[in-house]
Amino acid sequence: MRNVFAIFGKEMRSYFGSPIAYVVGAGFLALMGYFFQNYVLSFNDYSRAYSFQHREAGIPVPNVNSWVVTNFFGVQFFIWLIVTPMMTMRLYAEEKKTGTIELLMTSPISTWQTLLGKFAACLTLYMLIELLVFSLLGFLSFYADVNWGPVFTASLVVLLMGATFISVGILASSLTDNQIVAAVISFFMLLMLWMIDWSARFVTRTFSEILRYLSIADHMQDMTQGVIDTSDIVFYITAIFFFLFLTYTVIESRRWRQ
């Protein structure tokens, strides 16, 4: 564990010793603040316009969770799909470009220890940014009746989804020594996993079920509504270990080629 913490500390210093953490964090918070403001204002307008006639017509009573919270989490899922590759692109690509990857391979630190240290550092940065974003809902609770059950389950899926995105990004970074190329590869891999269930309607039922199961977006729907399904949690955990294992295989294959 000491070696894992050493790599973790090195990566955290690299994040906060450069503009990466600050630019990514500030940009994400500014964008989420903009969406949050507009969701709250639109909910306020709809609430003001709601009347007895709407209720008689069967139009549901305005609900802050369905109107603000669900949309708030939904949009940040997609934004993370774009932002996460920026956080992961340098993790191995920079090591390859500067030649420090050779030092890591010949050091007493194992490939798994290096990989887990890098993964933990990126996930920690992700969680710090999410914690700041989560505070927006805290402010909302002072002025609206927030149902915290769906909020906490949605936060759980945000954590699992983020860890999955990071594991994919690390894999992409291990495939090249160019950070921009790593970010592009990561983005398209994540986008494919996000949209893969689109093809489900064009194939047989068996393949349709497989494609739907492989979709990242499909597994987050229930949890954003407050429903925890163990199959969704198993999917994310399995995906995280699968992509980390692929990264380990890529790095180890480089070791054996030398």
Q: CA-CA distance, 186 to 172, in Å (whole number)?
A: 5
Structure confidence by residue, pLDDT tens digits, 123-132: 999 999 999 9
Rounded CA-CA distance 102/170 in Å is 18
Angle 223-140-60 from CA coordinates, rounded to 5°: 65
pLDDT digits (tens, 9 = 90+) for 180-204: 999 999 999 998 888 877 766 666 7
Contact (Cβ atoms closer than 8 angstroms) between residue 229 and residue 150: no
DSSP 177: S
pLDDT the model gives residue 224: 73
Supply the pLDDT for residue 70.
82
The pLDDT value recorded for residue 57 is 55
Residue 78: predicted pLDDT: 86
Supply the pLDDT for residue 198. Answer: 72
Which pTM value belongs to this model? 0.89
Residue 189: CB atoms within 10 A of its CB come to 17
**Would you state the torsion angle of the CA atoms of residues 207, 210, 211, 214, taken in this order, to the nearest 10 degrees?**
-160
Per-residue pLDDT tens listing for the chain (258 residues): 788 888 899 899 988 888 888 998 899 999 999 998 888 888 877 777 665 555 555 555 567 777 788 888 888 888 998 999 999 998 888 888 887 777 777 777 888 889 999 999 999 999 999 999 888 888 887 777 777 877 888 888 889 999 999 999 999 999 988 999 999 999 999 988 888 777 666 667 777 777 777 778 777 776 777 677 788 888 899 999 999 999 999 988 876 665
Euclidean distance between the first and the last CA atom of the chain, given in angstroms as a whole number: 27
